[in-house]
Structure 1
Amino acid sequence: MLQIDLWKRLLIWLTCVVGLVLALPNGFYTRVETHNDAMQAIELQGETPELLAQASGWPTWMPSSLVNLGLDLRGGAHLLAEVQVEDVYAARMEATWPEIRDALRPERATVGTIRLQPSAPNEIRVRIGEPSGMPRALEVVRDLAQPVPTLTGALATDLVVRGEEDVLIVTLSDEERAASDDRTVRQALEIIRRRIDEVGTREPTIQRQGADRILIQVPGIGSASELKEIIGTTAQLTFNPVVGRGTDPDATPGVGNKVVPSLDESGVYYTLEAAPVVTGEELVDAQPSFDQNGRPAVNFRFNPTGARKFGDYTAANIGNPFAIVLDNEVISAPVIQSHIPGGSGIITGNFTIEESTNLAVLLRAGALPAGLEFLEERTIGPELGQDSIDAGRIATIVAFAAVLIFMTLSYGMFGIFANIALILNIALIFGLLSLIGATLTLPGIAGIVLTVGMAVDANVLVFERIREELKSARGPARAIELGYEKALSAILDANITTFITAVILYAMGSGPVRGFAITLGLGILTSVFTAIFVTRLMIVMWFERRRPKTIEV
């Protein structure tokens, strides 16, 4: 017979109440959003009367999690960037040359002189004085190679070394290129995320697409060009020994050197050793500050490895200039006055306060390992986002009203129970979206509209089954009980297959597709819960109160 234990009833209603409470802040979106921003600012800056006034707009004891609005609803910037993974090959070869040189120097008696030859960006060519020593040179350089993990488990190394007469040629292996490409994109993805988080934007979408592309969507930002300024600079910081200084950009730098323009001095070019002493990857902190003359500057600090390199170099090169190079431009070339221990220093230049602050943010977040080429960029204005919200609201209201009317006309009192469950279903969806911090997009609204239509499907199956049982001269209680029992398998089958589809869409899709999949998947879970438990509980409570001899569905 119809019976639901008291603890089950309490648990069902408690779940509905929790869902309603979690969804409630979305009904006061602007007020709660202002409260959340003020609380975050108080944590960072401390309490001020203005921030406290903004924070008081919503009770602190109430939930304050909101459904984040996506790019197409709030407006913002959209970029699709391609990571120039080939840039890393040249940098890797530059960094490998000092290791090769230092490894071959003790073998001069066998291999003779060692001279770096002009080489392609992705290889190193070294001429040795004694061709007969080539086998030994190959053996020494191959010992520098490191193993590279592969999916097949096959043994592979990162360097391919071969000899042609008296020239030693070193290139990256195919396995290392593939691993390097993956590392480069992953690193670029993380650094882009850190840079965007530094400026306090809300709920950005930063995803990898394909092998070497990154999708960046930031709601609430002014324009795509503003977003490019935040993430587009590679901020490759290096400290290089200075070979010479001149005004000819086409001067021959010599093997192992490069010509770099000065950022502040127009028409001045520096010849630098290509292999840096220290790189920005060894920075652990960078903060905007002022130099001794009160001009904006940036203080920096290295990790222990970088500090040791920096200290050893300055101790051995007192009186010599060294260049601070940012994105292949010399921003400063001071003369080393004394040993600089501790691994800290200051970058000076003709900065404004804003430029020094942005440089500190870029350096603190880390250098992009490679350049970015922006294949697609769009700016979506907040007006268009509001239009999307209005259109989505109208579509949801129309679908909602149509379903409510249809269920009431088709199933009478039972249809009213289904409608109440449908309202709770929508509240539970928004409660779950708020709880997990999901982002609602325009396709996500489409998923909610679809859920509204699908939510009553389970109730329709149950009610039709109850009708069939009533035709078999069953009593009302038995007909209701059998209706739920026999419809359960069909409800689960239909919703499980749709849920699997939503999971696949989320796993394989990106951006708008994921937004649709999230609301569809959550909608299926809440629909099944409200149809199987909430509607049934309301019918049981009604039946226990009225004890009707006959019922009409």
Structure 2
Amino acid sequence: MLNRYPLWKNLLILLVIAIGVIYALPNLFPEDPAVQVTGSRGAIEVSESQLRKAEQALDSRNIPVKNLALENSTLLLRFTDGDQQLRARDALQEALGEDYVVALNQAATTPEWLRSMGARGVNLGLDLRGGVHFLMEVDMQAAVEQQLKVAASEIRSTLRKERLRFRQVTIEEGQIQVRMASSDLLDEAQRRLQTDLDEYQYTQETSENLLTLSLSEQAVREIEDYAVDQNLITLRNRVNELGVAEPLVQRSGRDRIVVELPGVQDTAAAKRVLGATANLEFRLEARRNADPLEVEEFPFRDQPGRTAELERDLITTGNNVANASVGFDENNNPQVNIRLNGQGGRLMSQATRPNVGRSMGVLFIEHKTRTSYERKDGERVEVREPYTERGIISLATIQSELGSSFRITGIGDTQEASELALLLRAGALAAPIYFVEERTIGPSLGEKNIERGIMSIQIGLALVVLFMLAWYRTFGVFACVALATNLVLLIALLSALGATLTLPGIAGIVLTLGMAVDANVLINARIKEEIYHRGLSPQNAIHTGYEKAFSTILDANITTFLVAIILFSIGTGPVKGFAVTLSLGLLTSMFTAIAVTRMQVNWVYGTRRIERLPL
């Protein structure tokens, strides 16, 4: 017969529809507002002790918990509404302290059997429901101080190289003060330093043998702009490492950065990675007879009570790391394999070549914020105090000249090594950043957009169904079944690919529904033409109608698909969301409008002789 699919083709179409239904099902299970607690770094674990503290803190404030679970050193607490979630976050942060990251989250309620198959719901954008908004502030003063610190180290090296005797180089009140051995050396020192440090303004005090270097206002502004721009690049790299779809990372004002993570699942990890201002400094261990002014003492990060003295001069920093990966040493302990860029490799080689046999320390630096609560005018106010932690993670003997590739050992565990490698690979922050504001965009803000978006789909679907049933009758039923299948498959694809659905994305779905039924209109109109104008039998008309309409449908969808690709390649944010749903919708509509409707026609008319079709 002309209109019969072989058994394997019917089974294949039904299998595709069944898979689509399975992967679309998770969208019927709404997420729970939740709070997630993890350690601020890999070495800090969440245990039963923190669980009991959390329960006591919530009980003292009469905050009911829907469910509580401790798994893989992560504490997840579920609540019934967003108000309980926000109150719980504040209570837990105050009770557990700064060693733990307390972050808002949305916990999935998808059944285990669906999760075991990799099925998950569609990620909704910030304009609908889901995602986290961070407002971060760049510490401009720290950016300038960091630049002065690098310049001070360079000044010491230059003066030693030129054999100009000096007593000390210090940083005081935003200025570099170089105290020479005698006033006769001031002019020569200034001449030598101006060659490489021409952005500084120089003043001399001959009575104190003092040469002072200060930055001009223009130079300070350039350093601050560079710090914000570099932090923007680093944060984008870190977001990419997290695998967040359609993120927004942009500057806001002079010293602030906005980060929006739509559809993010693990906000605790996002907050820990984005907020970590970790960097490394490589320094030589100080000699026993070293000048006390040229030495700094630091504790070991994971060995309380143990300290070591390192030289103030830096060999290089984490800013010169080109790549970092996790590995294991000969004792199966975690290590971080470092590859420096050209400048870093050259500095490392120059420093280690004459110092084989001495020890080199790796200093780990973290800029954090200490949160406390005070009463002001009868109200409870949150107070944030920035502070810096410095600790040695490795102190090893230099066995031979080091180049651009080497390894860091002595790191706590695999998770901590992975986080350190991620931060170094994504790039070090040019200046510390602090969380000024954190909020989850939930149902309270996106509810109207969700309702209107769903209503637009329902109205569009209803109008299309009414038209098809009234105009094409039985063939209209086939088209409506295919249309519903198309919607299910489109949602399934968005879910399986982890795409983020925004309001423009919903517009793409509505447009897809209209274009999908347009293909069936072309097919049905062609079948009618073959019957009433060319006099073909119903069976031949069905076969010819599908065959001849296919090329027209394909051409129309290809041109639209090309436009969607252009939109995706040059667009940003919501425009990309629209392009994604439109592109996927074109693929699903081609399948349902042709294969699914043809299968239904075959089932009803393919096995019997018919005199006329209800068209």
Give the equivalent residue in structure 2 for 1:19.
Answer: 20
Q: After superposition, where does 1:112-123 map in structure 2 within 5 Å?
A: none
After TM superposition, give the deviation of residue 429 of structure 1 in Å.
Answer: 0.7
CA deviation after TM superposition for structure 1 residue 23, in Å: 1.5
Question: What's the counterpart of residue 123 of structure 2?
Answer: 68
| Cα displacement string for residues 433-463 of structure 1 (whole angstroms, at most 9, x for unaligned residues) | 1211222222222222222222101001111
**Contact 1:205–1:215 (CA under 8 A) maintained in structure 2:** no
Deviation per CA, 1:470-489, whole angstroms, max 9, x where unpaired? Answer: 12212212222222222222
One of 388, 400, 416 as aligned partner of 2:477: 416
Q: Rate the CA distance shift 1:400–1:393 in 2: closer, same or farther, 3 A.
A: same
More divergent stretch after superposition (94-103 vs 438-447): 94-103
Cα 1:416–1:91 shift into 2, 3 Å = same
Matched, 1:216 2:260: yes
Asked whether the 8 Å contact 1:19–1:431 carries over to 2, the reply is: yes
When residues 517 and 376 of structure 1 are mapped into structure 2, their CA distance, relative to the original with a 3 A threshold, is farther
Q: 1:462 aligns with which of 508, 514, 523?
A: 523
Q: Of 520, 524, 539, which aligns to 1:477? A: 539
Partner of 1:488: 550
SS for the counterpart of 1:73 is: coil
The separation in 2 between residues aligned to 1:396 and 1:382, in whole angstroms, is 19
Q: Which residue of 2 aligns with 1:524?
A: 586
* Contact in 1 for aligned 2:490/2:584 (Cα 8 Å): yes
C-alpha distance in 2 between matches for 1:236 and 1:131: 32
**Separation in structure 1 between the aligned mates of residue 446 and residue 590 of structure 2, nearest angstrom:** 32
User: Hey, what's the Cα distance between the residues in 1 that align with 2:140 and 2:463?
Assistant: 53
Structure 2 equivalent of residue 535 of structure 1: 597
1:368 aligned residue: 429
Deviation string for 1:84-115 (max 9, x for gaps)? 9999899679658757975886676xxx7899
Indicate the residue corresponding to 1:2 in structure 2. Answer: 2
Match of 2:236 in 1: 189
- C-alpha separation between the residues in 2 aligned to 1:491 and 1:232? 50
CA distance in 2, matches of 1:74, 1:132: 61
Structure 1 SS opposite 2:606: helix
Of 422, 433, 440, 2:494 maps to: 433
Contact 1:237 1:327 in 2 (8 A): no
Partner of 1:512: 574
Deviations 1:520-546 (A, max 9, x none): 111111001111211122212222233
In structure 1, the residue matched to 2:560 is 498
Q: Which ranges in structure 2 are unaligned for 5 or more consecutive residues?
A: 36-68, 79-108, 179-184, 200-218, 220-225, 287-292, 296-309, 326-333, 341-347, 369-385, 399-407
Question: How far has the Cα of 1:501 moved from its partner?
Answer: 2.1
Task: Give, in angstroms, the shift of residue 28 of structure 1.
Answer: 3.1
1:444–1:515 Cα contact (<8 Å) kept: yes
Between the aligned partners of 2:359 and 2:589, the Cα distance in structure 1 is 72
Q: 1:8 to 1:42 in 2, by over 3 A?
A: farther
The alignment partner of 1:2 has SS state of: coil
**How far apart, in 2, do the equivalents of 1:65 and 1:340 lie?**
47
Displacement of 1:413 after TM fit?
0.6
- Give the distance between the partners of 1:503 and 1:84, measured in 2 at CA: 40
The answer (yes or no) to whether the contact 1:323–1:332 under 8 Å persists in 2 is: no
Deviation at 1:207, TM superposition (A): 4.7
SS in 1 for 2:119: coil
Cα distance in 2 for residues equivalent to 1:61 and 1:330: 43
Cα distance in 2, alignment partners of residues 529 and 400 from structure 1: 18
Cα distance in 2, alignment partners of residues 512 and 80 from structure 1: 20
Higher helix share: 1
* Unaligned 5+ runs, structure 1: 35-40, 142-158, 162-171, 173-178, 244-253, 258-271, 286-299, 348-357
SS at the partner of 1:66? coil
Mapped to 1, the partners of 2:502 and 2:25 lie a distance apart of 19
- What SS does structure 1 have at the residue aligned with 2:132? strand
**Which whole-Å CA distance do the structure 2 matches of 1:21 and 1:133 have between them?**
73
- Which amino acid letter does the alignment assign opposite residue 2 of structure 2? L
CA distance in 2, matches of 1:544, 1:303: 66
**Are 1:76 and 1:222, in contact at CA under 8 Å, matched by a contact in 2?**
no
Q: Is the 8 A contact 1:203 1:218 kept in 2?
A: yes
The change in CA–CA distance for 1:231 and 1:71 in structure 2 (over 3 A counts) is same
Deviations 1:363-422 (A, max 9, x none): 984542346699999863432233332332222222212111110111011110001111
SS at match of 1:545: coil
Q: What secondary structure sits across from 1:71 in the alignment?
A: coil
Partner secondary structure for residue 391 of structure 1 = helix
Answer yes or no: is the 8 Å Cα contact 2:137–2:433 preserved in 1: yes
- Mapped partners of 2:575, 2:437: distance in 1: 18
Q: Is the 8 A contact 1:76 1:219 kept in 2?
A: yes
Contact 1:113 1:128 in 2 (8 A): no
What amino acid is aligned across from residue 524 of structure 2 in structure 1?
A: F
Q: 438-447 or 528-537, which moves further after superposition? A: 438-447
Secondary structure (helix, strand or coil) at the match of 2:572 reads coil
Alignment of 1:47-86 (within 5 A): 58=113, 62-79=117-134
**Residue type matched to 1:71 in 2?**
L
Q: Identity of aligned pairs, percent?
A: 37
Query: Aligned equivalents of 1:325 and 1:129: distance in 2?
Result: 36
How many residue pairs get matched? 449
Asked if 1:394 corresponds to 2:449, the answer is: no
Instruction: After TM superposition, give the deviation of residue 505 of structure 1 in Å.
Output: 2.2
Task: Provide the C-alpha distance between the structure 1 equivalents of 2:189 and 2:73, rounded to a whole number of angstroms.
Answer: 67
Cα distance change, pair 217–463 in 1 and its aligned pair in 2 (3 A):
same
Matches within 5 A, 1:322-361: 326-327=366-367, 331=388
Q: Which amino acid aligns with 1:22?
A: Y
Q: Match for residue 444 of structure 1?
A: 505
- Any residues of structure 2 matched to 1:121-160 within 5 Å, and which? 129=188
AA aligned opposite 2:125:
G
Amino acid at match of 2:473: G
Q: TM-score, normalised by structure 2?
A: 0.54
Task: Give me the CA root mean square deviation.
Answer: 6.3
- Aligned partner of 1:28 in structure 2 is 29
> How high is the TM-score relative to the length of structure 1?
0.59
Q: Partners in 1 of 2:120 and 2:357 — Cα distance? A: 52
